[in-house]
Chains A and B, each alone.
Chain A
Amino acid sequence: MIDVEHLGKVYGSTSAIQDVTFQAQPGEILGLLGPNGAGKTTTMRILSGYLPATQGNAWIAGYEVHENPMAVRQRIGYLPETPPLYADMTVENYLNFVVKIKGIPAGDRAAKVESALERCSLQEKRKVHIRKLSKGFRQRVGIAQAIVHDPPAIILDEPTVGLDPRQVIEVRNLIKNLAGQTTVILSTHILPEVSMTCDRVAIINKGRMVSSGTLDDLMRQLAGGTRYELEVEGDRSTIAEQLQRVEGLSSLDWLAPEDLPAQHHKLRVSTETNQNFGKQLSTALVNANLGLYELRRVGASLEDVFLQLTTEELTPENPGAETSGLPSESSGEEASRVEAMNLPPAIEPDGPSKEIKS
């Protein structure tokens, strides 16, 4: 549904995003997660067609965003960081305007506006001037604007930022209700938001993709031991044989990147313990006279990102406000998750990543 491949954007001499690749399947909610300044807004602006990419491609519903901008614009709803509202219009007039410029035929407009008002619980505010609405309601009008024409893809840039905890819950429920019929991409720097609303997550940091998958996958990556990526020259079976002798090794996957020289192999190994076994790995390979070209601990960058993310929404002045409105079972589950994320077990005192290159 939404396909992003090797997207890059350069502003002058600084690169905002590099090689961003992810997919969102029809009907799923994908969270674009990353700390502030990671390049989330830039990515979303490219997807919406607002900004051109310097590299790479993005397809929405089969249309490339730069080759077919009008086709893409018809098929997306987009909520920028600041909701694009006309303060002197009433909610209803504003949505009537939006539905008209989104190319909905005259006969269907009233029904679409009505449905958007209903889905965003804005019926009572329909005659109110947007200027007079609270921030939470404005955000809802912003979301109504993005869904009013029932687009197959919806792009929401930080949809819950700046809202009070109650409004946050309402907006999240609204987004969850969109799933199934609509593909949603939302960006956030708040970790629990992803676990509460998203089916899958793509993590971006400093303009680069760190990881993507379901949140459970990522948690396993984070908590589940140590992983290394290796590039080794030599016979495949010899390599496997040598590595299997390393104590504690739990899995071995062969990777197949395209641009590998002959006789070179890339592989990923992991342990279930958090013990750092880089030394054993390199010793085993070098002793067997195999060429070790790269030995890199992976997952460390994920830890880096997680440490920068907002892992909880409680503020000192306002303890318990976030969980108060939630059903108790889910809040309990969230709390334990948050705790787990706060203390990633795989962090080592001697720095998050080690690299050996020949």
Chain B
Amino acid sequence: MTALTTVLTNIDAIFRKELQSYFKSPLYFVIAGFFWVLTALFLLLIAQNIIEQAGQMDAGRQLGQSGSPVDVPNLVLQNFLSVMGSILLFVLPVLSMNLYTEERKRGTLELLATSPITNWSVALGKLFAVVTFVITLIFPVALLELYLLSTAKPALPLQIFWVGHLGLVLLAAAVLSIGMFISSLTDSAIMAAFLTFVVVLLLWIVNALGQALGGVLGDALNQLSLLKHYSTLSQGVLDTPSLALFLSYIFLGLFLTAQSIDLFRLQQS
């Protein structure tokens, strides 16, 4: 086997192993159920709310009041993506908490560390698997959105839909990558989930500070804010700096994970 196929085989092996364990664990079914019920509820509420508002404004315009026409499907999609992003941010720490803590507790890290597989392959396989799980979470909801949006006239350009959901997946991947690093630092899943949630809170704080503070500092925080870049993508703007930022966060998480696994081994007594 060439070096590349070896690497791909290894990533694939980890990917399948991880995915298999998600679909056997009741925890993940509970998470999925919780996520689907909550998002479907919000989707309907938001759609109803905005349609009502638009109706009122239409009525107002007919009575001679000023106001521009409302792009209902676009508004529904953006509001909903923002809400779904927030719900997901609560779910992600729970998804990433077991990525490495379990391997550490059960001693299976010793198997991985003595097999001809690199830390990078392990981390990538794990990240792909957990992101795939997130995609399976989002998929049915996205179908529901598509169904709702298809009733709109004029139809919403599908690019907005695709770019928005790509943004959602990238946001999830970035947070999961950092969460994976955190889970590689501790034996305790609760600790890993808690610390990852703290990171999520920090994301919100950075975002809020970036908006509140003006000037260079505010600008810098805005540039680093995952949520700011997520909202750019959710408007359907396929913005290169935003993509680059998401990929940088993902890379950072992978890099730190690969390093911490070695460090943990060297320091172990």
A111 at the interface (CB under 8 A from B): no
Chain A residues whose C-beta falls within 8 Å of the C-beta of B13 in the assembled complex:
97, 100-101
- A196: Cβ under 8 A from any B Cβ: no
Q: B8 to nearest A CB, angstroms? A: 11
The 0/1 profile, CB within 8 Å of A marked 1, for residues 4-26 of chain B is 00100110111011001100110
B114 touches A76 (CB 8 A): yes
Across the interface, B113 reaches (CB within 8 A) one of A50, A82, A83, A103, namely: A50
CB contacts under 8 Å to A, within B107-125, are: 107-117
Chain A interfacial residues counted at CB < 8 A: 32
Residue B1 is within 8 A (CB to CB) of chain A in the complex: yes
Give the docked Cα–Cα distance between A106 and B5 (Å): 11
CA distance A49 to B21 in the complex (A): 28
A36 interface residue per 8 A CB criterion: no
- Nearest to B22 among chain A residues (CB) is A88
Which residues 20-41 of B sit at the A interface, judged by CB distance below 8 A?
20-21, 24-25
A48 CB–B CB distance under 8 Å: yes
Q: Are the C-beta atoms of A78 and B266 separated by less than 8 Å?
A: no
B268 at interface (Cβ–Cβ under 8 A)?
A: yes
Query: Please, how many angstroms separate the alpha-carbon atoms of A106 and B12 in the complex?
Result: 12
Please encode chain A, from 64 to 95, with 1 for each CB lying within 8 Å of some chain B CB and 0 for all others: 00000010011010101111111111000100
Within 8 A of B (CB), among A31-82: 48-52, 70, 73-74, 76, 78, 80-82
Is A163 among interface residues, defined by CB-CB distance under 8 A?
Answer: no
Q: Is residue A351 contacting chain B, with contact meaning CB distance below 8 A?
A: no
B106 near A: Cβ within 8 Å? yes
For B20, list chain A residues within 8 Å (CB): 88-89, 93
Contact B107 A80 (CB under 8 A): yes
Interface centre among B12, B106, B110 (most CB of A within 10 A): B110
For the complex, give the distance between the alpha carbons of A84 and B265 in Å.
Answer: 16
* Any A CB within 8 A of the CB of B269: yes
Q: Which residue of A lies closest to B268 (CB)?
A: A51
Whole-angstrom distance between the Cβ of A184 and the nearest chain B Cβ? 16
Q: Which residues from chain A contact B265 at a C-beta distance below 8 Å?
A: 50-51
Task: Find the B residue at minimum CB distance from A84.
Answer: B111
The CA of A333 and the CA of B268, in the complex, are separated in Å by 42
Given contacts A50-B113, A100-B9, 19 further A-B contacts (CB under 8 A): A52-B266, A70-B116, A73-B115, A73-B116, A74-B116, A78-B110, A80-B110, A81-B107, A84-B106, A84-B107, A85-B106, A86-B17, A88-B24, A88-B25, A97-B17, A98-B111, A100-B12, A105-B1, A145-B111
Chain A residues near B (Cβ < 8 Å): 11-12, 48-52, 70, 73-74, 76, 78, 80-89, 93, 97-98, 100-103, 105-106, 145
Interchain residue pairs A-B with the least CB separation, the first 8: A84-B111, A100-B13, A73-B116, A84-B108, A48-B114, A74-B116, A82-B107, A11-B269
Q: List 27 A-B contacts (CB under 8 A).
A: A49-B113, A49-B114, A50-B114, A51-B268, A70-B116, A73-B115, A73-B116, A74-B116, A82-B107, A84-B106, A84-B107, A84-B109, A84-B110, A85-B108, A86-B106, A93-B20, A100-B9, A100-B10, A100-B12, A100-B13, A101-B13, A101-B115, A101-B117, A102-B116, A103-B6, A103-B116, A106-B9
B contacts, CB < 8 Å to A: 1, 6, 9-10, 12-14, 16-17, 20-21, 24-25, 106-117, 265-266, 268-269
